[in-house]
A and B are shown apart, each in its own frame.
Chain A
Amino acid sequence: MAIAAACGACGLSRHRLWRDSVLLAANLAYLATVSSEPAAFMPFATFLATGYGAIQLSSRRASGTLLAFLLIGLTIGFCWLKKYWFLAGLGFIPSPYVTIGLSYIFFRVMHLVIDAQSRGKAGRPGILSYLNYTLNFTALVAGPIQRYEDFTKVVPPLDLCIAGRAAERIVIGLFKVLVVAAIASSLHHQATADLLARHGWPERLRFGTAAVAIYPIYLYFNFSGYMDIVIGVARLIGLELPENFNRPFSSVNFIEFWGRYHMTLSNWLRDYVYTPLLRLLMTRIAKPALDPFLATLAFFVTFFLIGIWHGPTTMFVAYGIFLAVGISLNKLYQTALLKLWGRKEYRALAGRPAYRAGCRGLTFTWYAISMVCFWANARQATLIVDALGPVGIAAGILLLLAVSTIVLSLAESLHAAAGRLRWNGTPIMVSRYTRTVWAVMLGFLCVSVVMLTHSPAPDIVYKTF
């Protein structure tokens, strides 16, 4: 209802001030649902105010030292508010406070501070725009991470076609979250419980592999479904959010994977961590022969940061190491093959369907294993390792690799076949009629599932005589 009201209010006038005011009201209303305690917002508000102050300072004085000081200060502030384990010695605020969306606000604020340095006054947003940009309720909880200049871009006014596409996007998102992700989550819980409860080795192997394989599927459908919903809703209120996913499990290597998965995060880190770091390393170490290794090092640092950004516990350090090692090995492998065989041979190999299928499976397998840090704490991870044993773990990885290679290849073939279907020369899958049918089907399933899961559980079926 609140979203519908915001959509309606935004449509009343196209005046910038009106739109910004409605958006701010919607953002504050959304935040108000998080906590009824005004004091709980104080740390959150202080971080926002500090960020705004840092942008003002950065835009007024072009100084590398000042910028470094501001960035380090904001990073420490963010880690402290998020209670990162390595800052435990400083002591944390004991009472509960709001941190919703703080991870994404952090990226937005950092981006504004860095860009304000180079753009001066032009890169300094007004207070209303700053608050709307950082608190944008459609992207507050889980992104996407939008650039400020894209946020302020004027988008075409809403018409029936745009509204229809936005509605379609919302329905697809709801289907992903409420149906596919819910089923995957249930299967994952079941597999994890069965893994720890069953005693037979084949069963433990089966449930262990299923638990590892299902979680990334759950997370992808949950996260990308949420993105579909917020992109659709944002479009209805006159905003255009960037895409965050592009069929990531079709990736044939880890580097490509991160160009398709949580794209706005990896793009942000590419622009603000990877590229500056690589530039710095290449400037300091002027040996072109070492460039691929410097790129690998920059990748390692960037993906390690991606890992630890996800959470404040040591499990996310492990996650960061998994990502960093994965991407570094990938880069080193590419470098070695290019050096050994040359570009032409390497391209020929990379184009072979069987090689691509195997690489796709390997990419998924590595990602699925690294995801264990997401769903298991250290104790659970130990229990799982104990339950499977070294042979079980090796067999599980091979099983996961084989199954994911086959399943992802089939999915790719199906996707390609669907794209080839045509009617009067137009691809059937992009026709508005096909899309209407598809969206109605998904909507029907969503409504059915929601109604059923919110209905009373069945009791004894009894017919009164």
Chain B
Amino acid sequence: MRDEAGGLRDRLQIPPPVRRQPAWLGGLPRRDLYVLPLLALATLVLLAGISEIGARIYAPAQEHMSCLVTDRTLGFSHGRPHCVETGKIPEGPEVVYSYNACGYRSTAPCGPKPPNTWRIALLGASFGEGYVVPYEQTFGARIERLLSNRCGRKVEVQNLAAYGTNLVGVYHEMGEALALKPDLVLIAIMPFDLEEGLPPDQVKMRLHPIPPRAEEMHRSPILAFAKMAKASRALTIARHFIFSDRDLYIKSYLMSGENTDFLRFPFSKPWQRRLSDFDLLLGEMATKSRAAGVPMALLLAPQRAQAALLTSKELPPGVDPRALSRRLRQIADSHGVQMIDSGQSFARLAHPETLIYTVDGHPGGKAGRVIADAVVDALVGHSRTPFAGCRLAGPAG
């Protein structure tokens, strides 16, 4: 039929029908109305996929939570006894986490204290544990070596700190720490521990086990997408490079909301509440420690933005990166606890923020050295610790 019809048109010399293009197309073929958007969509999908694959090859990561056991009713975590596992964050090196018979990240056995040995019980969360830091570079291991060298006597650190522990958990661990018969209890915190680690209900009910909480559900597709985007490696790498810019990082961090108010004085209401709760917990822990005849020290390490601000020539209005350490010193002094502010050591460096992982936010191995030096200098220079006489014993190792 078509051939016949075509032939008839040819014979009658009727031109083929012309499909007129609307003017708004501007000469664009009609098929491009579908082809170009589809091409754009395909480009987006491909680009997102390639970026994610590229980022995963460039910066591999490995989850490492199988060794950790959390006591949800008491709020703290421990390693499984003798457990060893390897983990890696995209920004950091591969790290081996090994735990002793008590589940502490320490090489020293956790049994009865050997003779002629000083023992430090280190309490805290991920920062205290040395999360994302190879064991030898953690400040706990460095303190062990430095003090042993200086004191001419073996010093061991039993590291009870573990990823996932909050400050109420640290409070509950005090008994376990004192049972180790330590010569010093060292509590290691970062501002983040105060921000996240003092849930008001748990502080209030601190003498009782914590009631179990319902698991968070991500049923909303938007929340699920946000969670997926947050887990994207490409995003992590992009954030790492973008926020390596110190000025941008500080500016952006200070706009992050209430959690950054520890950098502003006077403190906001939530931070006043946190500091008051911490005061309460530290006071009760100090009472227990005093009763056992064990001195106590509180170690504070700065967060990345705080470290950067400590060396800023000009501070944004209202910002005071030293405000938190001043307040914590007041709290510690009031309970007879020695305050060790490693921020002062960070402030002497040119770019201290580079020692703290940009996206992850935990201090790296080099920061461990700065922190360990600050702790050792403070301990040997303080008359109430057993290490007071060590300053003359030998050079730092």
Contacts and interface: CB of A to CB of B under 8 A. Distances in A.
Nearest to B240: A458
A160 interface: yes
Given A186-B248, A452-B238, A465-B70, A459 B164 contact: no
A460 B39 contact: no
A370 to B, nearest CB: 27
B100 interface: no
Given A458-B358, A459-B361, A463-B164, A453 B242 contact: yes
B26 A160 contact: yes
A448 B35 CA distance: 25
B27 A459 contact: no
Contacts of B40: 436-437, 440
Question: Ordered nearest first, which 6 A-B pairs have the shortest CB separation?
Answer: A159-B26, A161-B26, A460-B361, A456-B256, A457-B253, A457-B252
Contacts of A457: 243, 248-250, 252-253, 256, 305
A453 B43 contact: no
A22 to B, nearest CB: 20
A459 B243 CA distance: 11
Contact of B26 (A162, A189, A453): A162
Given A437-B39, A457-B252, A457-B253, A186 B44 contact: no
Contacts of A186: 245, 248
A186 B244 CA distance: 10
Contacts of A100: none
Interface in B197-221: 216
Interface string B6-47: 000000000000000001111110001001100110011001
A444 interface: yes
B192 interface: yes
B77 A465 contact: yes
Interface string A342-361: 00000000000000000000
A459 B305 CA distance: 9
A459 B360 CA distance: 7
Contacts of A453: 242, 248, 252
A159 B26 CA distance: 5
Contact of B239 (A432, A440, A458): A458
Interface string B255-273: 1110100000000000000
Interface in B355-369: 358-362
A232 to B, nearest CB: 16
Interface of B: 23-28, 32, 35-36, 39-40, 43-44, 47-48, 65, 70, 72, 77, 89, 126, 164, 190, 192, 196, 216, 235, 238-239, 242-243, 245, 247-250, 252-253, 255-257, 259, 303, 305, 350, 358-362
27 contacts: A157-B23, A159-B24, A160-B26, A162-B26, A186-B245, A432-B28, A433-B36, A437-B39, A440-B40, A440-B43, A449-B238, A453-B252, A454-B252, A456-B252, A456-B253, A456-B256, A457-B252, A458-B243, A458-B358, A458-B360, A459-B192, A459-B259, A460-B126, A460-B303, A460-B360, A460-B361, A462-B196
Interface string A57-91: 00000000000000000000000000000000000
A409 to B, nearest CB: 28
Given A437-B43, A457-B252, 9 more contacts: A159-B24, A159-B27, A161-B28, A457-B250, A458-B360, A461-B362, A462-B126, A462-B192, A463-B164
A13 interface: no
Nearest to B248: A453
Contacts of B23: 157, 159
B24 A436 contact: no
A92 B376 CA distance: 61
Nearest to A439: B40
Counting chain A CB atoms within 10 Å of each CB, the highest count among B245, B253, B305 belongs to: B245
A45 interface: no
B28 A160 contact: yes
A426 interface: no
Given A197-B350, A455-B252, A460 B27 contact: no
Contacts, number: 104
Given A452-B239, A456-B253, A433 B39 contact: yes
A188 to B, nearest CB: 12
Contacts of A449: 238, 242
Interface string A156-185: 010111101000000000000000000000
Counting chain B CB atoms within 10 Å of each CB, the highest count among A186, A433, A465 belongs to: A465
A455 B35 CA distance: 34
Interface in A410-451: 432-433, 436-437, 440-441, 444, 448-449
A440 B126 CA distance: 41
A441 B40 CA distance: 9
Contacts of A160: 24-26, 28
A465 B26 contact: no
A465 B78 CA distance: 12
A156 to B, nearest CB: 9
Given A159-B25, A160-B25, A453-B242, A459 B36 contact: no
Contacts of B36: 432-433, 436
A441 B47 CA distance: 7
Contacts of A441: 43, 47
A291 to B, nearest CB: 49
Interface in A184-205: 186, 189, 197
A448 B249 CA distance: 16
A8 B36 CA distance: 23
A94 B329 CA distance: 49
B233 to A, nearest CB: 13
A441 B43 CA distance: 7
B301 to A, nearest CB: 11
Contacts of A197: 350
Contact of A459 (B28, B32, B35, B303): B303
Contacts of A436: 36, 39-40, 43
B302 to A, nearest CB: 12
A458 B235 CA distance: 11
B360 A456 contact: no
Given A449-B242, A453-B242, A161 B252 contact: no
Contact of A461 (B25, B249, B360): B360
A441 B44 CA distance: 7
B242 A452 contact: yes
Contacts of B253: 456-457, 459
B164 A465 contact: yes
B255 A465 contact: no
A159 B21 CA distance: 12
Given A161-B26, A161-B27, A465-B72, A460 B164 contact: no
B258 to A, nearest CB: 11
Contacts of B70: 465
Interface string A104-116: 0000000000000
A440 B26 contact: no
Contacts of A448: 238
